[in-house]
Amino acid sequence: MEIMLHWEEPVSFVKGATAPVRKAWESLGIRTIGDLLLTLPRRYDDFSRITKIAEAQNGDFVTLEGTVVKCIKLNSFRKRFAIFRLMFEDETGKLNANFFNQPWVLEEFKPGRKIFLSGKIAIKAPYGKTLVSPIWEPAEARTLAAGKVAPVYGLAGTLIQKTYRRLMQYVLENVEWPEDAVAAGELERMKLLPLQEAIRAVHEPNSSNHAEQGRRRLAFDEVLGYQLALGAERKRSTEAGAPAIPFDQNFAKKFVESLPYPLTGDQKKSVWAALQDMERDQPMRRLIQGDVGSGKTVVAAFLAAHVHRHGYSVALLAPTDILARQHAITFQRLFAMHNIPFALVTRTDKRLYQGREEEVLKNEQVESLAAQGNVVLVGTHALLENGRLPKDLALAIVDEQHRFGVGQREALLLGSRDDGHVPHLLSMTATPIPRTLALTLYGDLDISLIVEKPAGRLPITTKVCHGEQREKAYQAIRDAIGRKEKAYIVCPLIDPSDALGVTSVTEEWKSLSKGPLEGIKLGLLHGRLKPKEKEETMEAFKNGDVDVLIATSVIEVGVDVPQATVIAIEGAERFGLAQLHQLRGRVGRSTMPSSCYLLTDTEGPGLERLMTMERVQDGFRLAEEDLKLRGSGQLLGTQQSGHEALTIARITDGDIISQARDEARRILDTDPDLTKHPLWKRAVEGMRDAAHLE
Ligand code: ADP
Ligand code: MG
């Protein structure tokens, strides 16, 4: 008998997980068997319906079941390029399938062998129906994908889908299932699958609905764990208390006068509410929720300046280098007249200090700034490394909190001061989630809404361009560049093996630079670039000679380049409405008219969904529409590094999220230290530790 795999064991225990596979998993944030089982497929391919060759139409994605007639190697004129042609039949007809550079298929495709083929049908004269590089599987063995709803996992490095599926099957067969933390009766009441069944359902579903049931159960656990962890931290914070910051009216007046624009009513209200919160010796917990471009950064800067004025330190934590940098630049501008020492702390070695870029801050210098105190630090989670948080930290500002792990949040709140107090907490988000959801996800906190847009903003003209109509978008971009404005082009990630978007961005650049955007200076931004290269590209786009930025959706979060007035989103049907709205928010950041073009080849309901973007400008309303349409469902965290707090739960999981909140409250009411819930206690500790690994 095989030795069972345990949940906490490293993935190196999986038979067949070679070094390159482990490396790929590592880069996807998968270290243990448990990580592997809880990393969901990105999507599913439905191969469960077998199509007959006679019924297969041009362009269809099909799975065929049939017999090998023969397989031959074709003569190719290109060196080191081999084509193999499989002739295949079922009882309704014949078809060819082409394979490239896979000499072993000659061995596999022996006449008479029964196999499955899955792929896209092309009808090409004179060959008739053809499949190009289909996936195939022997029909005699237990099938991994063909004939089923097959999981499609996120890939990295040299890891391929087939290997991933095979290893996953091995793990599912050999794992020792952990005990379910939710009692059977509770599961029944909440209509949730048992843990074991849920995990099986997401990796080996009987149907798409089955997979979704599985995901919902896992989302419940994720949110409940998160809630319990937040609850524990809240309890400790409340007991600890916070340094009270008295309101300084003179300074507030001076700060408002120094701003380059008048604050909107909602900005004022948010600042005012937070200033009042901080006057108390209980830690503030406030969330500022405002649509993209509503101007949250200035609110943060105001509060930071006020706390600094009172003699304490402030830290602002942002989820990406680009964002942290941008916040630092905004702060620099807004602090210019107030002599406030601040520094940008990210993983890159060039650290903006007092606005002087040439200045490279060494670790020791960051630490000495922190030790000195009364400073404003802006950064990514690099800020949380030992010794970088000032001991007199009185205000912690977190941009998009749900993108951070529980451990990171705790390090920020509980890991800095040594006088037993905790800093006040201000969270900011542009994620348009309903109030009750926000309360649940961020822990119970007070919410300030910024609805009102800064004066003079025009609505962003949005246009869906189908097929050939793309030319309209390119024309608009050329016109904008003619007016010395800037433009974005966003590319979707098409191929899961291209998680960093290198291929999609490069392909787009190739076709545009020789076609509709010939002669225009194009910059590229994708996940493979080094932080420094990203910075240089952003800088060239902002102030230099890059006029059009071709990027993956990394620009989704918060990039602020006011001269950019046109954004074109390629393959728009692949994005959720909420995400499209975030992307659209990259333009319309000045008083110049802006436009957003959604480029697509999709038809039917997908096209109609995109049309809502033309009608609806408001992010919150779009989120509601998205909920109604129940599209793909945007994830609450992001999938990119695997470290974020929520990778399974989605915005559309409102019912699950409130169930989890109620359950968390129930547990915390009677058992705040989780002594009677050891399984949850372990889960919460695991959450914390996972984030500390960083
Ligand atoms: P977000 O809420 O998306 O983070 P930002 O803070 O980046 O928005 O602000 C978006 C843009 O609006 C910035 O260029 C900022 O300078 C500008 N802005 C913010 N508040 C105002 C205001 N009250 N009046 C005019 N412009 C403003
Ligand atoms: Mg922002």
Over residues 344-387, the pLDDT tens digits come to 888 764 455 554 544 555 666 778 888 889 999 999 888 888 77
> Of the ligands numbered here, which is closest to the C-alpha atom of 400?
2
Q: Which atom of ligand 1 is nearest to the CA of 298?
A: 6
Among 56-65, 139-148, 460-469, the minimum mean pLDDT is found in: 139-148
CB neighbour class for 376 (10 Å; exposed up to 12, middle 13-18, buried from 19): buried
Closest of 639, 615, 627 to residue 578, by C-alpha: 627
Ligand 1 binding pocket includes 452 (Cβ within 6 Å): no
- Intervals of CATH 2.40.50.140 along the chain: 49-147
Pairing of strands 114-124, 61-74: antiparallel
CATH architecture of structural domain 461-616 = 3-Layer(aba) Sandwich (3.40)
**Mean pLDDT score across all residues of the chain:** 85
**Cα gap 439→106, rounded to integer Å:** 60
CB neighbour class for 237 (10 Å; exposed up to 12, middle 13-18, buried from 19): buried
Per CATH, is 49-147 categorized as 2.70.180.20?
Answer: no
> Of the ligands numbered here, which is closest to the C-alpha atom of 289?
1
Q: State both tokens at 266.
A: 């909602």
Per-residue pLDDT, averaged over 682-688, amounts to 78
Q: Which residues of 158-191 are buried (b: 16+ CB within 10 A; e: fewer)?
A: ebebebbbebbebbbebbeebebbbeeeebeebe
Which of 294, 326, 332 to mutate to test ligand 1, by most ligand atoms within 8 A of the CB atom?
Answer: 294
pLDDT of residue 555: 63
Higher pLDDT, 303 or 330: 303
pLDDT of residue 110: 92
Closest of 252, 238, 165 to residue 202, by C-alpha: 165
pLDDT in tens, 130-189: 987 788 877 765 566 666 788 888 888 889 888 999 999 999 999 999 889 998 998 999
Per-residue pLDDT, averaged over 85-101, amounts to 91
Ligand 1 binding pocket includes 668 (Cβ within 6 Å): no
pLDDT in tens, 568-595: 999 998 887 877 888 898 898 888 999 9
Q: State both tokens at 12.
A: 């190196």
The CATH number given to 235-450 is 3.40.50.300
Q: Which residues contact 182 (CB under 8 A, 6 or more apart)?
A: 190, 192, 195, 220, 221
Q: State both tokens at 560.
A: 């602020």
The answer, yes or no, to whether residue 68 has pLDDT greater than 80, is: yes
Per-residue pLDDT, averaged over 199-226, amounts to 92
Alpha-carbon Rg for the chain, nearest whole angstrom, is 27
**Cα gap 392→314, rounded to integer Å:** 8
Q: How far, in Å, from the CA of 60 to the mean position of ligand 2? A: 42
Q: Which atom of ligand 1 is nearest to the CA of 263?
A: 23
Q: State both tokens at 327.
A: 């916040």
φ and ψ at residue 122, rounded to 5 degrees = -125, 140
φ and ψ at residue 206, rounded to 5 degrees = -80, -25
The answer, yes or no, to whether residue 407 has pLDDT greater than 90, is: no
CB neighbour class for 441 (10 Å; exposed up to 12, middle 13-18, buried from 19): buried
Res. 644 pLDDT band, cuts 50 70 90: low
Q: State both tokens at 311.
A: 């003699």
CA distance readout (Å), 434 to 103, 289, 406, 440, 441: 55, 10, 22, 10, 11
Q: Is 529 helix (H, G, I), strand (E, B) or coil?
A: coil
Query: 147 has which bridge partners?
Result: none
Q: How far, in Å, from the CA of 297 to the mean position of ligand 1? A: 7
pLDDT of residue 312: 96
Ligand 1 binding pocket includes 390 (Cβ within 6 Å): no
The answer, yes or no, to whether residue 693 has pLDDT greater than 90, is: no
Q: How many CA atoms lie within 13 A of 600 on its CB side?
A: 20
Q: Which atom of ligand 1 is nearest to the CA of 456?
A: 25
The answer, yes or no, to whether residue 111 has pLDDT greater than 80, is: yes
Ligand 1 binding pocket includes 297 (Cβ within 6 Å): yes
Residue minimizing CA distance to atom 21 of ligand 1: 454
CB neighbour class for 279 (10 Å; exposed up to 12, middle 13-18, buried from 19): exposed
Per-residue pLDDT, averaged over 221-231, amounts to 89
Ligand 1 binding pocket includes 381 (Cβ within 6 Å): no
Q: State both tokens at 641.
A: 């590094």
DSSP string, 430-471: -----HHHHHHHT-S-EEEEE-SPPTTPPPPEEEEEEGGGHH
C-beta neighbour count of 436 within 10 angstroms = 12
Ligand 1 binding pocket includes 264 (Cβ within 6 Å): yes
Per-residue pLDDT, averaged over 324-333, amounts to 85
Which of 294, 297, 556, 557 to mutate to test ligand 1, by most ligand atoms within 8 A of the CB atom?
Answer: 297
CB neighbour class for 349 (10 Å; exposed up to 12, middle 13-18, buried from 19): exposed
% of the chain beyond a pLDDT of 70: 89
- Intervals of CATH 3.40.50.300 along the chain: 235-450, 461-616
Q: How many CA atoms lie within 13 A of 196 on its CB side?
A: 11
The answer, yes or no, to whether residue 103 has pLDDT greater than 70, is: yes
Residue minimizing CA distance to atom 18 of ligand 1: 295
Neighbours of ion ligand 2 (CB under 5 A): 558
pLDDT of residue 401: 77
Higher pLDDT, 525 or 360: 525
Q: How far, in Å, from the CA of 319 to the mean position of ligand 2? A: 11
